[in-house]
Amino acid sequence: MYDPVVTLQRVSKVYSRAGTDVSVLRNLSFSIPAGTFLAIMGPSGSGKSTLLNLMAGIDRPTSGVVVVAGTRLHELSEGDMARWRARHIGYVFQSYNLIPVLTAAENVELPLLLTHLSRKERTDHVKTALRLVGLGDRMDHYPRQLSGGQEQRVGLARAIVSDPTMILADEPTGNLDRESAEDILTLFVRLNRELGKTIVMVTHDPRAAERAQLIRHLEKGVLETPP
Amino acid sequence: MTLGRLILRNTVRRPVRLLLTVGGLAMVVLAFGLIRLTLDQWQAGSRAALKNRLITVHAMSDELRLPLAYKDRLTVIPGARTVHFGAVFGGVYQDPKQSFGSFAEQASTFFETYPEVVLSDAERLAFQQDRRGCIIGHRLAARFGWKVGEAITLKGTVYPGDWELVVRGIFRSTSPNVMGEGELYLHWAYANERLKTTEPDRADQVGWFVVRAADGINGQTVAEAIDASFANSSAETRTESEQAYFAGWVARSGALLRGLEWMSGIINGIALLVLVNALAMAVRERTREYAVIKTLGFQPRHLVSLVLGESLLLALLGGGLGLVLLFPAAQLYAVMTQDRGYVSSYLITTETIGACLAVMLLVGLLAAVWPAIRLIRMTTLEGLRHAG
């Protein structure tokens, strides 16, 4: 158990666009305790997704230190980072990003191919994850045969199937109708409350953010200090 | 679920592109295979020829003739067991387009010299006893529908005039690359007899002597003795084993063969481009998927194995289809070219199959290099932002 799960120390991120430096994150320092369901809000271009990507280890800060699950991410090579991510991070994308030629069950099984689980154990894990998100009867369906809400639930099942330390969700309800969005958010709440999962969700939807335990606002690369 | 299954699903996810790619590769393998077959067959005569069968021709050119009188001197060369001779007859049937290999041979020594000829004793005897008789390969018989006992009339090109012959036997050959089954053999004596009256200056000359060295005798020694005995004569000889003779003939066709080998290389280059293009398109379309897979924790080597697996699978599918098509294509090719005389059969050897598969494996490996490098260089973030 890592507590805090995430610690950022004086993290800045600067992108170079057309010869001009654009500062996306400025000197951020904060930590996320284990078991927290945190929503990070902010307008487009505020740096929400960049912050999430730094925590997931799919981007690197220009300066500062990112420590997640006890690991200083800047010290890892690309290969080690991938291995670390497989163990600690479950990532939920806004546009689901399922592999279209794989069934729901096969998509969910994908992260488990990196583990030492037997085929039967993998199948059991996949069934459990899909039942948890309410898709036990859609295991053999391909993404094109599922609704957007169902696709996102498969995406969530894929994120939790390997029991990662933390779930990161980038606008998980951004492409969904209200009802489907509520279903997904309810699942996040359940995962947090019943299974103690640490969840960081980036959103610009206040109704989605309200379901989190904690809301932080990011404005022009600076995290608003909570009252 | 395995990565192998993902490779398979990725390979077949765009059926039209799959069909075009595999079809393109199959055509390439087919062309490559046919060129290999041609090259193989060209060299097969040399490989199948007997070492102890010596061929004596005019030292200056194969086209020039040797005096028949040389026969008696050859017979007394130490180590010479049988002395046979013959000449190109150059017959055509009805139409100049209907040409085939035809040769005037000394009948009495023919079968001993060429044990490859498979013919019944009765047919052998009938041929030897009839000066107007001829024997034909079964493929030639099938081509014109000729039967044993049938009288046929050929127009001679090397031996001018109309020649009435009687088919006395239809043979098969144990070595079609040496003794072709699309050829005709008639009595040299019959051809020479007519020449004595029409063109006496050309009579009593032969195109070649074939000397079989006695068992246990070094053929090279006999060949040197033959050439030495005709040194400084008006028609010096060049004697070499049948194997060396065919090899030399192949070497003289070197420019053409090199051209064909170049063409093989170019064809393989086309295969490579076809596959690289298909893979590059596929990888570009799936950039985001590969980035997602990386986000899930897969390493660059996993992505490389996905691309490499797909490339090899496509190459082997194309290669396999090409090989399946090669068998009927080779038969068709043999039928279409059987009257050219050079190539008598198109047998697909394990070497040809191996060469086709090896080339496709190599193409599959090479084709994956560029897309794999792109994936290795691609950061996860770049991939996720890809709008393909």
Contact between B255 and B95 under an 8 Å Cβ cutoff? The reply is no
Cβ-defined contact of A97 to B292 (cutoff 8 Å): yes
Tracing tokens 């040496």 back to the chain, one arrives at: B178
Structure confidence at residue B345 (pLDDT): 57
Chain A hits for B296, CB-CB cut-off 8 Å, are 85-86, 91, 110-111, 114, 158
Pick from A165-179, B60-74, B92-106, B255-269: least confident: B255-269
Structure confidence at residue B49 (pLDDT): 66
Q: Comparing A9 with B50, which gets the higher pLDDT?
A: A9
Strand partners, B85: B209
Question: What is the rounded average pLDDT for all residues in chain B?
Answer: 88
Please report, rounded to a whole number, the percentage of residues in chain B having pLDDT higher than 70.
94
Structure confidence at residue B215 (pLDDT): 81
Q: What is the pLDDT of residues B294-303, one digit of tens each?
A: 999 999 999 9
Structure confidence at residue A55 (pLDDT): 95
A59 touches chain B (CB under 8 A): yes
CATH of A35-57+88-223, one of 3.90.660.10, 4.10.410.60, 3.20.20.210, 3.40.50.300: 3.40.50.300
* Averaged pLDDT for residues B368-382: 91
Stated as kind and residue range, the H or E segment containing A40 is strand A37-41
Q: Which residue, among B18, B286, B295, B376, would best test binding to A if mutated, counting the most A CBs under 10 Å from its CB?
A: B295
Structure confidence at residue B362 (pLDDT): 92
For B153, residues 6+ apart whose C-beta sits below 8 A from its C-beta are B162, B163, B164, B165
Q: Is the peptide bond before B78 cis (omega within 30 degrees of 0)?
A: no
Give the pair of three-digit tokens for residue B287: 């950039």
Count other C-beta atoms under 10 Å from residue A59's C-beta: 21
Q: What is the pLDDT of residues B164-201, one digit of tens each?
A: 999 999 999 888 777 888 899 999 999 999 999 888 89
Contact between B310 and B34 under an 8 Å Cβ cutoff? The reply is no
Q: What is the pLDDT of residues A156-170, one digit of tens each?
A: 999 999 999 999 999
pLDDT of B252 above 80: no
User: Sign (positive/negative) of CA torsion B353, B356, B359, B363?
Assistant: negative
Structure confidence at residue A165 (pLDDT): 93
Contact between B322 and B28 under an 8 Å Cβ cutoff? The reply is yes
Q: Residue ranges of the domains in chain B? A: 3-46+254-385, 65-234
What residue of A is the nearest CA neighbor of B9?
A101
* Averaged pLDDT for residues B61-73: 91
Cβ-defined contact of B295 to A91 (cutoff 8 Å): yes
CA distance A50 to chain B (A): 10
* Averaged pLDDT for residues B142-169: 93
pLDDT of A57 above 90: yes
Degrees, nearest 5: CA angle B271-B274-B278: 140
Q: How confident is the model at residue A227 (pLDDT cuts 50, 70, 90)?
A: low
Cβ-defined contact of A113 to B3 (cutoff 8 Å): yes
Q: What separation, in Å, do the N-terminal and C-terminal C-alpha atoms of chain A show? A: 28
**B222-227, long-range: CB < 8 A, 24+ apart:** B222/B54, B222/B77, B222/B78, B222/B79, B222/B80, B223/B54, B225/B77, B225/B78, B225/B79, B226/B54, B226/B56, B226/B74, B226/B77, B226/B80, B227/B56, B227/B59
Structure confidence at residue B46 (pLDDT): 64
Structure confidence at residue B342 (pLDDT): 45
Cβ-defined contact of B298 to A114 (cutoff 8 Å): yes
d(CA B108, CA A193): 105
For A217, residues 6+ apart whose C-beta sits below 8 A from its C-beta are A40, A41, A42, A223, A224
Count other C-beta atoms under 10 Å from residue B347's C-beta: 14
For B161, residues 6+ apart whose C-beta sits below 8 A from its C-beta are B155, B194, B198
d(CA A143, CA A100): 6
Cβ-defined contact of A101 to B294 (cutoff 8 Å): no
Q: Comparing A165 with B215, which gets the higher pLDDT?
A: A165
Chain B hits for A110, CB-CB cut-off 8 Å, are 1, 293, 296
CA distance A152 to chain B (A): 14
d(CA A188, CA A172): 10
pLDDT of B322 above 90: yes
Question: Which pTM value belongs to this model?
Answer: 0.73
Give the pair of three-digit tokens for residue B154: 């050929």
Contact between B219 and B213 under an 8 Å Cβ cutoff? The reply is yes
Tell me, what's the ipTM?
Answer: 0.92
H helices within B231-286, ranges in order? Answer: 242-252, 254-285
CA distance B379 to chain A (A): 8
Q: For residue B71, give the amino acid letter.
A: K
Q: What is the pLDDT of residues B26-58, one digit of tens each?
A: 999 998 888 888 777 777 666 666 667 899 999
Q: What is the pLDDT of residues B80-112, one digit of tens each?
A: 888 999 999 999 998 888 888 999 999 999 999
pLDDT of B338 above 80: no
Strands (E), chain B: 53-58, 66-67, 80-88, 91-92, 102-105, 117-118, 133-137, 151-156, 161-173, 184-187, 205-206, 208-213, 237-241
A125 touches chain B (CB under 8 A): no
DSSP structure string for B188-244: HHHHHHHHHHH-GGGTTEESEEEEEEPTTS-HHHHHHHHHHHTTTSSS-EEEEEHHH
Structure confidence at residue B388 (pLDDT): 56
Give the pair of three-digit tokens for residue A156: 């969530």
pLDDT of B287 above 70: yes
Q: What is the pLDDT of residues A107-132, one digit of tens each?
A: 999 999 999 999 999 999 999 999 99
d(CA A102, CA A108): 9
pLDDT of B340 above 70: no
Degrees, nearest 5: CA angle A3-A9-A14: 135
Q: How confident is the model at residue B341 (pLDDT cuts 50, 70, 90)?
A: very low
* Averaged pLDDT for residues A71-80: 90
Please report, rounded to a whole number, the percentage of residues in chain B having pLDDT higher than 90.
52
Contact between A100 and A144 under an 8 Å Cβ cutoff? The reply is yes
| Nearest CB to B297; choose among A53, A82, A106 | A82
3-state SS class at B54 = strand
Half-sphere exposure for B331 (CA within 13 Å, toward CB): 5
A194 touches chain B (CB under 8 A): no
Highest mean pLDDT among B73-82, B237-246, B307-316: B307-316
